Amino acid sequence: MRKGQNSTYFQKFTDIAAQDVLDSVFYFLSTSYNPDEKYYVFTDNIYTFNLANVVGELSFQNYADLREHVPAIHFQQCHFSGDIHLTECACDRIIFSNCTIEGHLFCEAGIFNRLTLNDSTINGNASFYDSVFEGPLVFRRTKLNAATFVRSSFNHQVMFRLCEVERNFEVKDTVLENNMLILEDMPLEKFDIGTAEINKLILSNCRWPSCEKISSSNIVTERIARDWKNKAISLSDTGAVSLWHQCEKEFTLKRARETKNWFMMFLLFCYRQLSMYGESPARAAIWLFLFLTIPFLLSFTGAYSSHYAWAGIPFFSKAAPSILHKSTGLKLFWLFTQGAITLQLSLLFFAIRNKLRR
């Protein structure tokens, strides 16, 4: 009887050396391995390893003809003490369900028909380099430290659902051709999709984080915020466009502080305070009200006339007020309020326009 077909095998963990797993699956390549001692159940063309504690590094490296002999491998409730290498191999289907990988998951220069991780944990990183996915790539309810996709090609949809990410998902020089990237209940502030060629992006039950949370995450950068803003524009997601525009400017302000560009820092600080980077008509209106009210209140003291403040509004008066003041200070204050009211009115119109356009 093959190991794995005994019902007692499924009731407790069994230590299996990584090499025994390989020999068990690749017995067709081994001349010394006993084909009657396999650590799996073979049903429906799937090799299932259940409750196995795989000791050591598991490497499928250089098995270019794997899918010709093994249609699918399913690791169910297994624990891997080391890294898993799916390097330079051609696999049909590999499924991890309720598994824990203490090391890293490497998928390098491989060809995969389908790769699925369900309810699993990767304590290291998941790295996908120069690989081709002919079928879907699916992560469901999986915890991992970080995932990187570099120079990979996906000929089918890619889906991440309810995953917990400690650091970030990073996509570089990756092509999804005519397929889609589906993000469902995912932390969007941890996705960097800057250089990915994604024709269709579906966001399901994904809540955009606050700008404060993004700025303090130490993960998102100015470029990432700009890329997300452009992606939101293509998706016609008006709320996201406004959010990522604000975040982009926040990172620009942060960079100005770090480089001690005082002029740029002053301009961005004023832009944020007066209209939240042109995204808050309410804030712009409040400041305009203050700029109009202060001169009006000062007029009761007899030192300043509110007439000059109202004249600062473009087209409000056909005639410019005469500049007759008792002191240079009052003249400067008059010039300041004139400029401030005009500028704030422009910011208000700009913020309203942004809201209407988005």
Low-confidence winner among 36-45, 196-205, 271-280, 343-352 (lowest mean pLDDT)? 36-45
pTM for this entry: 0.63
Contact 229, 250 (CB under 8 A): no
Q: Which helix (H) or strand (E) element contains residue 184?
A: strand 180-184
Closest-CA residue to 231 (of 206, 183, 199, 209): 199
Contact 334, 312 (CB under 8 A): no
* Four-residue CA torsion sign, 277, 279, 282, 285: positive
- What pLDDT score was predicted for residue 103? 93
Q: What is the pLDDT of residues 170-218, one digit of tens each?
A: 877 787 766 678 889 988 778 887 667 777 777 788 776 676 666 666 6
Determine the Cα–Cα distance for residues 74 and 47; give it in Å rounded to an integer: 6
Closest-CA residue to 230 (of 221, 241, 239): 241
DSSP output for 98-147: S-EESS-EEEES-EEEEEEEES-EEEEEEEEES-EESS-EEEES-EEEEE
Determine the Cα–Cα distance for residues 175 and 202; give it in Å rounded to an integer: 16
- Per-residue confidence at 237, pLDDT binned at 50, 70, 90? confident
Q: What is the pLDDT of residues 105-134, one digit of tens each?
A: 998 888 888 999 999 999 999 988 888 888
Q: What is the pLDDT of residues 3-49, one digit of tens each?
A: 433 322 334 445 656 666 666 665 544 444 344 445 667 777 787 88
